[in-house]
Structure formats: C-alpha cells, structure tokens
C-alpha cells in the first residue's frame, strides 16, 4: 500500500524546535553517466507548496510544475553537482556528501537544522539529521528531491545532445538495456563513471 505524501506535520515539529529547516536530497547515485546532483531547500512556512512528495512517486509533468513553484516560493534553495571524474576519484558516496555540504553552505539563509535522506554529513556548522526515506516523510526533503531530479534530468538531456548515441535523453544515464548496449558498441564517453562496475568490465 502506497504511503501518503508528507503532510508537513514532521516539518512543523522540527521548525518549532530548530527554526528554519533545510531539506537535502540527491539524484543520480545509481547512474553510469553524468553528475550526481544535490538540492537543498528551505521552504517558506507562509507560502506552502501543495502536492510535495518523493520525486520518484511523481510524474515528470508534475515534477516540472512543482519545481517551478519551489523556485518561486522557497525562502532559498541551491543545487550542487559532482561530475564523473570526481565520483571516480572520491567514490559515489563521498562525492554525494561533498555536494550536499556545498549545497547547504551555499544557502542564503542559515538553517537551524539540516535533514538529509539517509546520507550522514560531517563538518556542518548546524545540527543535522539523516533519516531513511526522509524524502517521503518531510516536505522540505521532498522539495529538494524534486528540484534535484528536474535539474539533473535537464542536464542529461543537454548532455545527450553533446554526446549522442547513449540515449541519455530517455534513460538519464541509468543502466537501461539500450544504454548498456550502446556502451558495448561505442565504448565509454568522458561523461561515464569509469569506476562503476559495468564500465570496469568494459575496460
């Protein structure tokens, strides 16, 4: 049975204790190509965005609409990326952490608490909470997941125009059968993550 979208009760509980809450989430950790993309969002309690949910549970059209509303209504937001070379150098988890810290530190307002979807961060100057499935429990993290997803999808469509043949406009860099077949036929591009297993097998 599908869980209900976050109703904001958990956000309000944390806001009462900490003040401003920043939600942080990533997209693209499991992809073979392109960046891992992180968004950090501090929502405005006085300008609610209706319909927020984990980005994976929303249609592309609804994600686009909500992303535009988040950009308009949020108190502040940031997006950060880590590309394939840094992912290969650091590993995907550490690259994701680095992007998350960058996104939080770039916010125009300092939150009282940062909530991430499962990823534990180190070295933040503010309180931090990591919870599994936070993007389905907190509206601020759901907003971050939507903004990260829409931003990364747009990035992969642009990259598909620069590096044709791999179908990134549809698979967004993830290991679909068509993407894996293109890798076998064309070999890896500069946008592929050479440290990921399907690429190591081809090397």
The model's pLDDT over 8-18, given as tens digits with 9 standing for 90+, comes to: 999 999 999 99
What per-residue confidence (pLDDT) applies to 203?
54
In a domain, 22, yes or no: yes
In a domain, 117, yes or no: yes
Model confidence at 2, in pLDDT bands (50, 70, 90)? low
**Mean pLDDT across the chain, nearest whole number?**
95
Least confident piece of the model among 3-7, 120-124, 159-163: 3-7
Q: Determine the structural domain holding residue 120 and report its residue range.
A: 9-152
What is the rounded CA–CA span in Å between residue 203 and residue 199?
6
In a domain, 25, yes or no: yes
- What average pLDDT does this structure show over 17-41? 98
In a domain, 171, yes or no: no
The string of pLDDT tens digits covering residues 140-196 is 999 999 999 999 999 999 999 999 999 999 999 999 999 999 999 999 999 999 999
In a domain, 110, yes or no: yes
What is the rounded CA–CA span in Å between residue 58 and residue 68?
14
What per-residue confidence (pLDDT) applies to 65?
98
In a domain, 35, yes or no: yes
Any idea what the CATH number is for the domain that residue 45 is in? Answer: 3.30.420.10
The string of pLDDT tens digits covering residues 72-87 is 999 999 999 999 999 9
What per-residue confidence (pLDDT) applies to 199?
85
pTM: 0.96
In a domain, 40, yes or no: yes
The string of pLDDT tens digits covering residues 62-71 is 999 999 999 9
Q: Given 3-state DSSP classes, what are the helix, strand and coil percentages for the chain, each rounded to the nearest 5? A: 45, 15, 35
What is the rounded CA–CA span in Å between residue 160 and residue 170?
9
Bridge-based pairing of strands 76-82 and 36-42 is antiparallel
Q: Which long-range contacts (CB under 8 A, 24 or more apart) does 1-9 make?
A: 2/57, 3/136, 5/51, 5/52, 5/53, 5/57, 5/136, 5/142, 6/52, 6/53, 6/136, 6/137, 6/138, 6/139, 6/142, 7/139, 8/48, 8/139
Number of structural domains found in the chain: 1
In a domain, 4, yes or no: no
């Amino acid at each position: 049975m599908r869980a209900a979208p976050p109703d904001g009760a958990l956000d309000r509980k944390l806001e009462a204790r900490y003040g401003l809450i920043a939600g942080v989430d990533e997209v693209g950790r499991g992809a073979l190509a392109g960046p891992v993309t992180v968004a950090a969002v501090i929502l405005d309690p006085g300008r609610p965005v209706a319909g927020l949910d984990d980005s994976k549970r929303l249609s592309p059209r609804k994600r686009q609409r909500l992303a535009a509303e988040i950009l308009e209504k949020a108190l502040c937001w940031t997006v950060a990326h880590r590309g394939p070379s840094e992912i290969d150098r650091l590993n995907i988890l550490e690259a994701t952490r680095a992007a998350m810290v960058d996104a939080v530190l770039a916010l125009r307002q300092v939150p009282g608490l940062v909530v991430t979807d499962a990823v534990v961060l180190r070295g933040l100057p503010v309180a931090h909470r990591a919870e599994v499935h936070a993007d389905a429990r907190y509206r601020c993290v759901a907003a971050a997941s939507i903004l990260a997803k829409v931003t990364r999808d747009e990035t992969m469509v642009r990259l598909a125009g620069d590096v044709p043949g791999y179908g990134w406009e549809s698979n967004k860099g993830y290991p679909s059968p068509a993407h894996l077949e293109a890798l076998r036929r064309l070999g890896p591009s500069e946008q592929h993550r050479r440290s990921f297993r399907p690429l190591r097998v081809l090397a």
